[in-house]
A and B are shown apart, each in its own frame.
Chain A
Amino acid sequence: MAVCVAVIAKENYPLYIRSVPTENELKFHYMVHTSLDVVDEKISAMGKALVDQRELYLGLLYPTEDYKVYGYVTNSKVKFVMVVDASNTALRDNEIRSMFRKLHNSYTDVMCNPFYDPGDRIQSSRAFDGMVTSMMIQVC
């Protein structure tokens, strides 16, 4: 279960960012912002190494004492960043991958929506919001 989910455009500005404990939002925004550097590093490292497979899933970007940050980049250079509670050790890599896949599918649907202008913030899509809510941790 994610604690914070962010969708970041090609030009590195946020298209959608939402975190669950809404008091400390700024901390999560800052974490996502710093993780962008790591994402860029991974992308450029992939480009230089002559690897045959270039994966979209970037894996664990960096761990902090409370949280772990995962990244995923699409072919259109839109980045998804997810912050997960580090105490939740039951979360497997496969689950993170499937969460990113769901995110990617929902993002593609938003893109295909004729009422959505590419480059705008994702504000009015209820389906996208619903999908992100289902991924976030349940806090009562």
Chain B
Amino acid sequence: MADAALFEFLHTEMVAELWAQDPDPGPGVSAGPRGEGGRAAGQKMSLSVLEGMGFRVGQALGERLPRETLAFREELDVLKFLCKDVWAAVFQKQMDSLRTNHQGTYVLQDHSFPLLIRMASGLQYLEEVPKFLAFTCGLLRGTLSTLGIKSLVTASVAALPACKFQVVIQRS
């Protein structure tokens, strides 16, 4: 039971730590535009750092979780595995809905995302939300990449705590 709380606190601290560096880019970085431009670049970098961390964790998860399950037959199986097993392992619940247009785009919807549920219920804090979703986007992308699927994952929130993750498969 306590495992879920541990991850939530770790995640909150990660976001707080990586975000706090943003207003003060440091001596090496501030050669570029200051003020608004510098701050926006710092924010983007924090987001990609968070996403990168999620990616590495996702790669390890993609190796560890499907261990006893049999080989996946097709893409939809992999997505279903993501929604059921990966989500249950990380957030102790399953994804609420999975939709696809069968052209390589999948929308995963979670009506009460555990990392957002402690924040608010409604429209409050909507601008602050992207940084709390970056890690999870990376996690999805990492797991997909270990299972052989190159993808682009973005998240969007209409009203807390429901959020949507959009997975676009990149076919080369």
Residues on A facing B (Cβ under 8 Å): 10, 46-47, 53-56, 73-77, 104-105, 107-108, 111-112, 114, 118
Q: How many A-B residue pairs have CB under 8 A?
A: 46
Residues on B facing A (Cβ under 8 Å): 56, 59-60, 62-64, 66-67, 69-73, 146-148
- For residue B62, which residue of chain A has the nearest CB? A76
Chain A residues whose C-beta falls within 8 Å of the C-beta of B59 in the assembled complex: 111, 118
Q: Select which of A10, A107, A112 is within 8 A of B148 by beta carbon.
A: A10
Q: Select which of B64, B66, B148 is within 8 A of A111 by beta carbon.
A: B64
Q: Is the CB of B63 within 8 A of A76?
A: yes
Instruction: Give CA–CA (A124, B63) in the complex, Å.
Output: 19
A56-B147 contact in complex given A108-B64, A111-B59, A114-B56, C-beta closer than 8 Å = no
Instruction: Give CA–CA (A46, B72) in the complex, Å.
Output: 11
Interface centre among A47, A73, A107, A118 (most CB of B within 10 A): A118
A54-B70 contact in complex given A76-B147, A111-B59, C-beta closer than 8 Å = yes
Instruction: Give CA–CA (A55, B66) in the complex, Å.
Output: 12
Majority-rule SS of A interface residues? loop
Closest Cβ of chain B to A2, distance in Å, is 21
Q: Is the CB of B146 within 8 A of A76?
A: yes
Closest Cβ of chain B to A101, distance in Å, is 9
Instruction: Give CA–CA (A74, B63) in the complex, Å.
Output: 8
Q: Select which of B56, B67, B73, B146 is within 8 A of A54 by beta carbon.
A: B73
Instruction: Give CA–CA (A75, B146) in the complex, Å.
Output: 8
Chain B residues whose C-beta falls within 8 Å of the C-beta of A56 in the assembled complex: 70-71
Q: Is the CB of A75 within 8 A of B60?
A: no
Q: Is the CB of B56 within 8 A of A75?
A: no
Chain B residues whose C-beta falls within 8 Å of the C-beta of A10 in the assembled complex: 148
A75-B64 contact in complex given A10-B148, A114-B56, C-beta closer than 8 Å = no
Chain A residues whose C-beta falls within 8 Å of the C-beta of B72 in the assembled complex: 54, 75
Q: Is the CB of A75 within 8 A of B69?
A: yes
Closest 10 CB pairs of A and B: A54-B71, A75-B66, A111-B63, A112-B60, A76-B146, A54-B70, A108-B64, A108-B63, A111-B60, A118-B59
Instruction: Give CA–CA (A114, B60) in the complex, Å.
Output: 9
Instruction: Give CA–CA (A112, B63) in the complex, Å.
Output: 8
